[in-house]
Structure 1
């Protein structure tokens, strides 16, 4: 583990810059209005604890100041974010990401603005202890959940932590991150296992299977199942949630032992890619 300091600025945009102020700072604004009434983005970094084993950390806090402004020439545009990460040993590196902004109409059934990341992987690399890494953004931590799309309410400043990790450059890294083994729905239909690609490259998991440490409880991923860098999916016992991949065992009985067991993710060769002990089998944190 290492302590690092992060900071960021908004150097450029694909929009007409005639109404923009604050480019090349950590607080960019736009719109035909006084600065205090413009919409805009803010990025605030800070001191964070960083591991190089795929553990997530807060890269910084993103705020969208979403205020009514006169119509823009472009409703959708990109704003670039440049992030500097400085480690305690003096190693420093700059990373960049692009935020895609959708300035939706302020009326209608869905007036919220939307912010997306066209790519979740920085094009830049940093070498630490002889290994090359890239920064992968997992998503925005909004309302306690990590989401891939930031939904911004009108007429307020809306914030979320930007959750990221350091991934080995040029490699996928698929792991089980959580087992929700005590469901509350009838017959525990809402049990699920969460799987994430912590790598910097897409991972094709077609034909892989997920199961408990017992026979007859395997879920096989269908052809065409590809996890993008930083992407999370869930496999439910008997529910379907499109926002997390839509995967389900589709069985009318509990799958995961309420006392504890080990979830296994295996590839098409039968090799264990990731195992996750939970409950009574959980390995204590040293």
Structure 2
């Protein structure tokens, strides 16, 4: 375990929207206000415990100040963040870089919430711990107890989420089951049950032919050919629903897969070797 202290600065916006200010600070803003303030991003760090065993931790808190702004012809752009991490053991600062993709959606459209995504989840920088090289991998935004891939930000307010990350060995994938939502809300079929799987590693993982299964016969899901989990990517395999934002995977089963009283999900590779399980 390493105790670390984090802080962050926003270093670049590409392409550049109108009226940008706050570069190289922890609070960047842009746009010409319609009525309220400018829109912008904040990053707030803190002191946390960081494991090197794949455990997810909070890197800091991300806030999007979302106010109506006048259109300037650019509604999608990338915003770069540098997170400065100080490890207690050696009292040295190290910088880790990430990229956020911002979509300033039309306020009068069918989906007015602005969208924030993470096209770059793995820092290009690394740190050596106990002789091994590690990089920081962002695995999602945590809001209301749920970790999601994409941050949706309603208008006229400041919307926040924790940035969840892991320290992972450089050049290695690490696919793990992180949750089994075993009791769905859909009556009888529990079609909305799901298993959540995350690649917490720094390298992409080809999971073609891997099998997700329970302990009973006929409860196998095999990933189709060409299935790759990108570094930091989080997916869900539903019992009988298809959600594109989670990869679009489904058992296609007309009955519940996971036992409400207790069950274990297993994930094995093409050789049959157990990769991960979750009870």
TM-score by length of 2: 0.91
The counterpart of 1:217, out of the listed 216, 219, 222, is 219
Structure 1 CA distance for aligned equivalents of residues 101 and 32 of structure 2: 20
In the alignment, what sits opposite 1:281?
Answer: none
Residues 47-86 of structure 1 aligned to structure 2 (within 5 Å):
47-86=47-86
Asked whether 1:23 is paired with 2:17, we answer no
Cα deviation for residue 107 of structure 1 reads 2.2
In the alignment, what sits opposite 2:149?
Answer: 148
Structure 1 CA distance for aligned equivalents of residues 134 and 26 of structure 2: 25
Asked whether 1:164 is paired with 2:165, we answer yes
Structure 1 CA distance for aligned equivalents of residues 113 and 218 of structure 2: 45
Cα deviation for residue 33 of structure 1 reads 5.2
Distance 1:105 1:208, change over 3 A: same
Structure 2 CA distance for aligned equivalents of residues 105 and 238 of structure 1: 33
Checking the alignment, whether the CA contact within 8 Å between 1:104 and 1:113 is kept in structure 2 is yes
Distance 1:33 1:213, change over 3 A: closer
In the alignment, what sits opposite 1:181?
Answer: 182
Give the paired residue count.
Answer: 276
Distance 1:70 1:3, change over 3 A: same
Give structure 2 stretches of 5+ with no counterpart. Answer: none
Cα deviation for residue 69 of structure 1 reads 2.2
Checking the alignment, whether the CA contact within 8 Å between 2:33 and 2:68 is kept in structure 1 is no
Checking the alignment, whether the CA contact within 8 Å between 1:66 and 1:155 is kept in structure 2 is yes
Please provide the CA RMSD for this pair.
2.1
Residues 208-247 of structure 1 aligned to structure 2 (within 5 Å):
208-247=210-249
Residues 110-129 of structure 1 aligned to structure 2 (within 5 Å):
110-129=111-130
Cα deviation for residue 48 of structure 1 reads 1.2
Structure 2 CA distance for aligned equivalents of residues 184 and 228 of structure 1: 30
Comparing 129-138 with 142-151, which one deviates more in the overlay? Answer: 142-151
Checking the alignment, whether the CA contact within 8 Å between 1:174 and 1:203 is kept in structure 2 is yes
Checking the alignment, whether the CA contact within 8 Å between 1:202 and 1:228 is kept in structure 2 is yes
Distance 1:143 1:2, change over 3 A: same
Cα deviation for residue 32 of structure 1 reads 3.5
Structure 2 CA distance for aligned equivalents of residues 110 and 242 of structure 1: 16
In the alignment, what sits opposite 2:37?
Answer: 37
TM-score by length of 1: 0.89
Checking the alignment, whether the CA contact within 8 Å between 2:33 and 2:67 is kept in structure 1 is no
Structure 2 CA distance for aligned equivalents of residues 259 and 143 of structure 1: 25
Runs of 4+ in 1 over 6 A off after TM superposition: none
Cα deviation for residue 83 of structure 1 reads 0.3
Structure 2 CA distance for aligned equivalents of residues 220 and 140 of structure 1: 28
Cα deviation for residue 22 of structure 1 reads 1.3
Structure 2 CA distance for aligned equivalents of residues 74 and 33 of structure 1: 15
In the alignment, what sits opposite 2:209?
Answer: 207
Structure 2 CA distance for aligned equivalents of residues 18 and 107 of structure 1: 20
Give structure 1 stretches of 5+ with no counterpart. Answer: 279-286
